[in-house]
């Protein structure tokens, strides 16, 4: 019996397939898009079909999809067709409830800045205003709109070029880089769920070495086939240039330790299970050399 439920798009009603897509392709960053129509009416609306797709030129794409229920289009799409400019504001946790309120389908001409209680600030280059409460704002011109279909649920890819970026100084570290804990972004999940990208939700993964890691396939069979080591741990162990020697491990890990402490680390494990479980614990803590030390002891 298969472990998977498998569907062709034609197997399910569009709303059901749409729900599975949003639940599976998560989390999705949110483009909080402010636009303006030819008469000067401002609109503010969030879209989670969104990401960055290039840095030179800096390119963002978001998609106000056609409504599934009645195949109508969003005011944002209509506005950028009239005035080809948009400000994409990022959404932090402190503003998520107001952002959600702004997604209410108010009548055309209603200003969601006012409805949701946000503060508009004049952009430097484009006509739509920026959201003061947003920690990062991108003034963009619309380069192209690609319609993926004409039925309910079809996307409209709005390809934007960033003309100016604004970052709140409060979210920068001492080196002028964005601190993920300080910017405290949120992203969209399926249904009514969101995720907060801060605290324990944020973790680091070491990038593959420029000299190339040995790979999982090069690990000893006893390690590669261990029932106690997770796939993540195998990935970390395979991201080394070569399997370290005991001497290399001790040179790194024993620095500053007393002889008694060194002997405790060198202690022999009673069996392979204990050895591998200890290595797994070390790897989960990001201590790859200690994991190797346990495996090679």
Dump pLDDT digits (tens) for 183-213. Answer: 999 999 999 999 999 998 998 888 887 778 8
Q: Cβ atoms within 10 A of the Cβ of 240, count?
A: 18
d(CA 103, CA 86): 17
In the structure encoding, which two tokens stand for residue 160, read together?
């934007």
pLDDT at 253 over 70: no
Q: What contacts 62, CB < 8 A, 6 or more positions away? A: 31, 33, 47, 49, 50, 88, 157, 158, 160
What pLDDT does 261 receive?
Answer: 66
Domain range annotation of the chain: 9-201, 216-296
* CATH architecture for residues 9-201: Roll (2.30)
User: What's the pLDDT tens digit per position in 117-126?
Assistant: 999 999 999 9
According to DSSP, the β-strands at 31-36 and 120-121 are unpaired
Counting residues of the chain whose pLDDT is more than 90, the rounded percentage is 71
Average pLDDT, the chain: 92
Cα separation, 126 vs 166, in Å, equals 13
Tens of pLDDT, residue by residue over 13-51, are 999 999 999 999 999 999 999 999 999 999 999 999 999
Query: Which structure tokens are listed for 132?
Result: 């003061």
Q: Which residue has the higher pLDDT, 171 or 285?
A: 171
């Amino acid at each position: 019996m298969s472990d998977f439920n498998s569907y062709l798009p034609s197997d399910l009603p569009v709303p059901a397939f749409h729900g599975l897509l949003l639940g599976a392709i998560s989390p999705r960053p949110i483009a909080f898009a402010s636009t303006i129509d030819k008469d000067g009416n401002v609109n503010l609306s969030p879209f989670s079909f969104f990401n960055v797709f290039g840095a030179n030129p800096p390119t963002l794409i978001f998609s106000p999809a056609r409504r599934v229920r009645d195949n109508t289009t969003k005011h944002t799409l209509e506005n950028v067709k009239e005035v080809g400019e948009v400000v994409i504001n990022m959404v932090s946790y402190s503003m998520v409830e107001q952002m959600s309120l702004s997604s209410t389908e108010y009548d055309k001409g209603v200003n969601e800045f006012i409805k949701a209680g946000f503060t508009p600030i004049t952009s430097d280059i484009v006509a739509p205003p920026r959201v003061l409460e947003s920690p990062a704002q991108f003034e963009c011109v619309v380069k192209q709109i690609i319609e993926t279909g004409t039925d309910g649920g079809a996307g409209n890819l709005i390809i934007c070029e960033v003309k100016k970026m604004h970052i709140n100084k409060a979210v920068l570290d001492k080196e002028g880089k964005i601190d993920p804990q300080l910017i405290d972004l949120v992203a969209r999940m399926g249904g009514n769920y969101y995720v907060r990208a801060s605290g324990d939700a944020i973790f680091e993964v070491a990038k593959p070495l420029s000299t190339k890691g040995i790979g999982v396939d090069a690990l000893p069979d006893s390690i590669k086939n261990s029932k106690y080591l997770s796939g993540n741990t195998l990935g970390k162990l395979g991201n080394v240039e070569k399997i370290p020697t005991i001497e290399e491990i001790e040179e790194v890990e024993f620095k500053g330790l007393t002889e008694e402490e060194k002997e405790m680390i060198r202690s022999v494990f009673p069996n392979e299970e204990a050895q591998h479980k200890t290595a797994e614990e070390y790897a989960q803590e990001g201590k790859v050399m200690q994991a190797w030390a346990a495996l090679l002891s």
